[in-house]
Amino acid sequence: MNSRAALFAQAIRGPILLITVGVLFAMHQAGVLAFYRSWPLILIVVGVMKLVERMYVPQVPPPPPPFGERPQ
C-alpha cells in the first residue's frame, strides 16, 4: 500500500470521531438514545479507524541477522 493512503487514513480520524460524537449528542438531545448508553460506539469507531490505519501503513522489512549468524 502507499503512504498517501496511510496519511489519508490518519487525517480523517479526527473528523470522523468528531462527527460520531456529534451524532450521538444529537440523538441524545432528540430523545432517541441516551448518551450514557451509546458511548461504546465511540470505542468501536476508534477501533475501526485504527484497523484502517494499520491496513495502509507500509510494512517495515525485518532487520538483517547479526553478523556471523546464518539465516534459517
Q: Tens digit of pLDDT for each residue in 43-65?
A: 999 999 989 888 877 777 777 77
Considering its fold, how many domains does the chain have in total? 1
Range of the domain at 24: 3-56
Residue pair 6/53 in contact by the 8 Å Cβ criterion? yes
Task: Quote the CA–CA distance of 2 and 59 in Å, as a whole number.
Answer: 10
| 10 belongs to a structural domain | yes
Is 72 inside a domain boundary? no
| Least confident among 12-16, 35-39, 41-45 | 35-39
Say what the pLDDT of residue 6 is.
78
pLDDT score for 47:
93
Q: Report yes or no on 27 lying in a domain.
A: yes
Give, for 51, the enclosing helix (H) or strand (E): helix 40-56
Whether 12 is covered by a domain: the verdict is yes
Task: Copy the grid coordinates of residue 16.
Answer: 470522523
pLDDT over 90, % of the chain: 38
In-domain check, residue 40:
yes
For residue 70, is it within any domain? no
